[in-house]
Structure 1
Amino acid sequence: MEIEGVRTDRLGLLLDQFDKAREMAGVRLAGLGDEEYLWEPVPGCWSLRRRAEATTPRAFGPGEWLLDLGAADIPASEYAEVARQAAGGMSVEKIAEDWSVTVERVEQILAHTGEPEPDETPLTTIAWRLGHLHFEFAGNWEWTFGERRQDPKQMIDFSPSAALTLERFWPVIDRWRADVGALTEDQLDKVGLSQYPYGSAPEEPFISVLWGANLEFIHHMAEIALLRDLWRARFPTPR
C-alpha cells in the first residue's frame, strides 16, 4: 500500500531517516557555546588540542588545533567485523592495513575465542564528536563524489569556536545529502563507488556505506545531545 508523501524504496527510507536525524540535530545543537563545546566532564577525555599541547599519539589536523586520536587498535566491538573480512577473502595483510595495526594483532584477534573483554574507550567531548563527523562526511564526499585525492584527516581545519565549527559543518552535511539524493538504484549497488581510504568502503556496495554513514551521524548526535543535557544538569535551575 502506498501512502502519499512516504517513500518505501531503499534510498528513500535512508534519506528520510537521515533528514529526520539532521532536523533533530539542528534543534539540539542550537545555542551551543564554546565552554560547553570544549567541556571535559571527566579526566582523560579526547577533545581538540592545540598542536603544542596534544597528548594522544595520533592526533591529527592541518592547522593549530588537532583532534585527539590514540594508538591504533581494533576495538573488541569490531572483532566480528574482522572475522567477516577474513571470511570474505580479505588477506590478513590487507585487514591490518585497513585498521592501521600489525599483522600479528589481526592474527591474535582471528585466533580469539569466547567473548572479548569490553573496550576501555575514552569519553569524548562535543568538540571531538563534531570534529569526527566533520572530517568523516567531508572525506566520504571527497572519495565518493569529489576528486578522490585529499586525505580526510587533513581536510578540516578544526576550531575551538562552536559557532564557526557549526557554520562550516552544516554545509558539508547538506552537500553529502544532496549528492546522495541524486543516486540511482544501480549506483546504490555499485561496489567501490566510495573509495574512502579508511575502512572497507571500497569493497562494499554503496548502500552499505550509506546506512553506515547514517548510523554514524545518528549515534554521535545522540551522544552530543546527552552531553548537552548533562551540561545543563550541572547547574540546575532553582525551583
Structure 2
Amino acid sequence: MADQGVRTDRLGLLLEQFDQAREMAQVRLTGLGDEEYLWEPVADCWSLRRRGEAVTPRAYGPGEWVLDKGAPDIPASEYAEVARQAAGGMPVSKIAEDWSVSVERVGEVLAFTGTPEPDRTPVTTIAWRLAHLHSCFAGQWEWTFGERRRDPRLLVDFTPRAGLALEAFWATIDRWREDVASVTDEQLDTVGFSQYPYGSDPDDPFIAVVAGSGLEFIHHMAEIALLRDLWRARFPGRG
C-alpha cells in the first residue's frame, strides 16, 4: 500500500479516518431540509429554539436561536474517566472544574462502587447534534489555532435553516482539518497545545485531542444518519 501514497504515520492515519468519515457524512446529509433538520421524534427533545423558548436551564448561543443544554453533571458513562483522572494525579478541584460540577459531586463519583445505572440522556434533533458538533469544532479551533480568548459558546450563530447550517459547518470542519494537518510531531506530543476550556484538552497531548475530535465527529454523524433513516421511514416522500 505504501507505493499508493497511503500515510501510515499516526497523524496521517487519523486524518485519513477523518477524511473518510467527512466524505460519508456529506453524502448522508445531502438533501437535508429544514423540517427534517428540526424534527423532534419524541417528546422532550433537545433542539435549537428561539431565545426565550428554550426548555433547558443553560441553553446558549449568541443570536436569536439557542442550543438546549441542561444542568451540568458527570454521566455514568464517564465515571471510569473521572477515576482515571484522579488516579493520574489530577486534583479533585480541577476535575470538578473540568466537568462544571461541585467538588462534592466528584467525591460521590469517586466513592461509587458497583455498576452505575445507565444514563438517562435526552433525545436530540439533527439540528441539535449538528449545532453541538459545530460549536465544539469552532471552539477547539479558536483555543488551538485562534486567539484563545473568545467564549466557545458564542462562536456559532445557530440557524433553523439546514442549508445555511451545513454550509457554515463544513467550512468550520475543513478549517480545523487543514490546520491540524500542519502541526509538527513535537506539537502533537505537547500537553496543552489546545487550551479548549470545556474538556480535558489543556491536560492532554494534542494527538489525543485530535483522536477525540474525530471520535466525536464520527459518533454524532452516525446518530444523525439514523435520524435521517427514521425520518424517511416515518414520512416517506417528504423532503
Consecutive unaligned residues of structure 1, counting only runs of 5 or more, are: none
Q: Could you tell me which residue of structure 2 aligns to residue 72 of structure 1?
A: 72
SS of 1:114's equivalent in the other structure is coil
**Moved >4 Å (runs of 4+):** none
CA displacement at 1:3 relative to structure 2:
4.1
Question: 1:81: how far off?
Answer: 0.7
- Counterpart of 1:149 in structure 2: which amino acid? R
Partner of residue 227, structure 1 = 227
Give the aligned residue type for 2:125. Answer: T
One-letter amino acid of the counterpart of residue 155, structure 1:
L
Could you list the runs of 5+ residues in structure 2 that have no partner in the other structure? none
Name the aligned partner's letter for residue 134 of structure 2: H
CA-CA distance at 1:2 after TM superposition: 3.0
Other-structure match for 2:125: 125
Alignment of 1:1-239 (within 5 A): 2-236=2-236
Offset of residue 131 of structure 1: 0.4
**CA distance in 1 between partners of 2:93 and 2:190 (Å):** 25
Equivalent residue of 1:66, what SS? strand
Q: Displacement, 1:52?
A: 1.4
In structure 1, what is the Cα distance between the partners aligned to 2:91 and 2:38? 40
Tell me which amino acid in the other structure corresponds to 2:120: E
Helix, strand or coil at the partner of 1:53: coil
Using the alignment, how far apart are the partners of 2:153 and 2:117 within structure 1? 29
User: Displacement, 1:118?
Assistant: 0.4
Question: What is the alpha-carbon distance in structure 1 between the residues aligned to residue 93 and residue 114 of structure 2?
Answer: 24
Looking at structure 2, the residues matched to 92 and 3 of structure 1 have their Cα atoms a distance apart, in angstroms, of: 50
Counterpart AA for 1:81? E
Looking at structure 2, the residues matched to 198 and 235 of structure 1 have their Cα atoms a distance apart, in angstroms, of 37
Output the CA distance in 2 between the equivalents of 1:102 and 1:192: 24
In the alignment, the residues of structure 2 paired with residue 110 and residue 3 of structure 1 have an alpha-carbon distance, to the nearest angstrom, of 50
Distance 2:171 2:122 in 1: 29
Q: Percent of counterpart pairs with the same letter? A: 76
Q: Which amino acid is 1:198 matched to?
A: Y
Q: Can you list the C-alpha shifts for 1:54-102, whole angstroms capped at 9, x where unaligned?
A: 1101100011111000111000000011011111111111111110111
Distance in 2 of aligned mates of 1:178 and 1:199: 22
User: How many residues are treated as equivalent by the alignment?
Assistant: 237
Q: CA RMSD in A?
A: 1.0
